[in-house]
Amino acid sequence: ALDLPESLYSSKVLNAVKPEKDVDGVNLGRLVHGDVCDCLVPPTVCAVMELLEDIGGKKVLLVGARGAEGAALQSVLQRRGAAVLSCHWKAPQLQSELRHADAVVFGSAKPHDVPVSCTKPGATVINCAHDPLSGKSYGQQNNPAAEKTVGSLAVAMRMQNMVKNMERWIQSQQCRKWDLHSLKLQPLSPVPSDIEISRAQSPKAVDVLAKEIGLLTDEIEIYGQTKAKVRLSLLERLKDQPDGKYVLVAGITPTPLGEGKSTVTVGLVQALTAHLNINSFACLRQPSQGPTFGVKGGAAGGGYAQVIPMEEFNLHLTGDIHAITAANNLLAAAIDARILHENTQSDKSLYNRLVPVVNGVRGFSAIQLARLRRLGINKTDPETLTEEEISKFVRLDIDPSTITWQRVVDTNDRFLRKITVGQANTEKGFVRQAQFDIAVASEIMAILALTTSLQDMKERLGRMVVANDKKGQPVTAEDLGVTGALAVLMKDAIKPTLMQTLEGTPVFVHAGPFANIAHGNSSVLADKIALKLVGEKGFVVTEAGFGADIGMEKFFNIKCRASGLVPSVVVLVATVRALKMHGGGPNVTAGAPLKKEYTEENLQLVADGCCNLQKQIQITQLFGVPVVVALNVFKTDSPAEVDLVCKIAKESGAFDAVPCNHWSAGGKGAVKLAQAVEKAANQKNSFKYLYSLELPIAEKIRIIAQKVYGAQDIELSPAAQSQVDRYTRQGFGNLPICMAKTHLSLSHQPERKGVPTGFILPISDVRASIGAGFIYPLVGTMSTMPGLPTRPCFYDIDLDPITEQVKGLF
């Protein structure tokens, strides 16, 4: 509340008042533009309007009304239909105008040397020359009988403004139907390239989008014009709001070209929000820059169903992967440095350096005290430790041959798959073989995707096992004392990034773990925040990597366990092209033209290949969730082929099967899919996990292999069995399983299409991501560092130095 004379209303004062807190109505932009619902009218003006009766068509004279109050009076009176004239006290025409006005409003105190003749008989005279808070008058005390003052009434109106303001604030804290203005699409035929479509659309400013979906100004951190981080404080504000419906998009066993799960995800939310007016959110993984410059190109959806701007989506975004790289490599550096220092120093020297005297005082850091407690040493004074306790404290005794923590970089670089570190003379002969992984294969990325809070992330980071000591016990990041530093590097990366689709509907882009050695899903936090924002009748649509046998199984058994969320519907994506491949069609190779079997009608191939679709529907039914099949339609698909797939899908237990054209038509092409998903979400849901965590590790692997993949049994190599025994002995046996297997077949052999049966699934090794919280068996060999092909995508990527536009990005 501003209790100031008009003369002190400087721009500095006015600009200091937030519009949403402006109970005095000093910020006039919205009022003058007619947005009365979004602003508060100045209390004095409210009082004047209360005192004036019907003024439509009447003449109102404003005398000495200046600044914000004068402008507001004039604007409101004109909106009520009055003819308004404003003049100052010394205007030559004042006397004449007073005699003709139906109502006179004095906006300031009358100067003593200005005579005021009689006003028009019956005219209403209102004196605003007062202090609205105290009621003190600045003008003459002897008012004419017909003159009304606004003093006490203005005070009441200010209080009413404060009540209105609080009501609005309370309402803003609640989840509500979005006031979202979708962006219009004008699809072209033939469909242009993805980047041409992206560039042709002008995205909304991200702060505008944030306001439309109910985010408060202090809940977003804006990165440029089209991206913003969303703070986790929103979860506390909306903790009592019911969640929306939770939809997972999975796929059949794909061709090497992919079957368009991201495109379906984006098309579905465009249909729900832009065409059916239902609150919806897409939650997608952040793509790695390695494949973007290697073999795959962009990954923001495609055609008229994509996230924009696509170049920002596919490149640095908001730096999350860089933060993961920095944290991962800090931990890798800490491991080798600790081994070096332990190899070259006595216990006493190590202790003096680990717990130095600072300003005459020696003290343990918080993380060192925690390590002492884990060792059973309940002391806080560094001077009181015995020699044996000092040795236990300073010696991690890492066995270099057991180090599993690798350095990472977000580039496809095959020559980093095996390296040697420590060759400089300064490393004193400590040389070992190591490797680089691609950044998204880091366990820290898997943790980012599964964490539920900053505290949870910090605890998970501390639990990461990086090696064993020489006694076979696990060594963690917490033991190395680096947990707090890792959390600091990750403090911004934990916040989901808000972007938008081509039709202006909201998207969260957050986390992008590998779908083989990790679970291949976007973050739990993005899903949780989106579920609160869409409200009880809204939808959150997220995507699982690879086929349903891999990505969906991990989504249910790993991600849903971490989040506690229950999915409402599975959308299973299929294509005629992939079904023909499973029916016995020729090999499909990325970059090579499709054979005629894929471009001409062949109902027999389609029918034979539907066995894979049927198997994936059965896998979904194992978890008790309704499934809707989304058939991604290509221009070479015949109507008979499309009808056949939908018929077989429904007969096989799908709730519905819908052909989709969102790639060429945007959300309009996925409206029937959206309607089917909405109906399916209201079906009975009997969601259940596939296995109990209490089962032995090998038994959990066997259940996945037999019930999901269709294997006859599993076979653990001696190395795998040894690791299973070790993890069980170390207390990690109750973790869920994350199978690392080819995505190109239900079996371990990529060339076996359709529904292979009777095979023995070989487990070559078993590893663990203890911080992320899962065991990952390797079926065959899994590369965690892609290489560049003969002709990488970067040949086509360029920057226009004049416009600064990126060229050739998909």
Catalytic residues: 261, 263, 285, 296, 515, 546, 634, 663
Residue 696: C-alpha distances to residues 132, 260, 523, 559, 767 (Å): 76, 36, 28, 20, 15
Q: What are phi and psi of 432, to 5 degrees?
A: -150, 155
CB atoms within 10 A of CB 184: 11
Q: What six digits make up the tokens of 462?
A: 């501390």
Alpha-carbon gap, residue 606 to 618, rounded angstroms? 19
To the nearest 10 degrees (0 to 180), the angle between helices 443-450 and 483-490 is: 70
Residue 57, Cβ density class (10 Å: 0-12 exposed, 13-18 middle, ≥19 buried): exposed
Q: What six digits make up the tokens of 480?
A: 């190395």
Helix (H) or strand (E) holding 409: strand 407-409
Alpha-carbon gap, residue 325 to 409, rounded angstroms? 6
DSSP letter for 137, please.
B
For residue 715, what are the β-bridge partners? 762
Alpha-carbon gap, residue 547 to 769, rounded angstroms? 22
Angle at 67 between CA 65 and CA 71, to 5 degrees: 75
3-state secondary structure of 534: helix
Distance between start and end Cα atoms, the chain: 55
Q: What are phi and psi of 163, to 5 degrees?
A: -65, -45
**Do residues 313 and 556 lie in contact, with contact meaning Cβ atoms separated by under 8 Å?**
no
701-737 in b/e burial notation, b at 16+ Cβ within 10 A? bbbbbeebbbbeebebeeebeebbebbeeeebbebbb
Alpha-carbon gap, residue 555 to 247, rounded angstroms? 11
Alpha-carbon gap, residue 496 to 298, rounded angstroms? 20
For residue 130, what are the β-bridge partners? 137
Q: Quick one: CA dihedral 744, 745, 749, 753, positive or negative?
A: negative
C-beta pairs of 404-407 under 8 Å, 24+ apart in sequence: 404/465, 404/466, 404/467, 404/767, 405/328, 405/331, 405/332, 405/335, 405/464, 405/466, 405/467, 406/332, 406/434, 406/435, 406/436, 406/437, 406/784, 407/328, 407/329, 407/332, 407/434, 407/435, 407/436, 407/437
Peptide bond into 756 cis (omega under 30): no
559-576 in b/e burial notation, b at 16+ Cβ within 10 A? bbbbbebebbbbbbbbbb
Alpha-carbon gap, residue 547 to 642, rounded angstroms? 20
Residue 209: C-alpha distances to residues 163, 217, 302, 505, 539 (Å): 27, 11, 22, 8, 17
User: How remote is the C-alpha of 622 from its chain's centroid?
Assistant: 29
Side-chain-facing half-sphere of 340: CA atoms under 13 Å:
18
Q: Residue 162: which of 310, 332, 43 has the closest Cα?
A: 43
Pairing of strands 497-501, 305-308: antiparallel
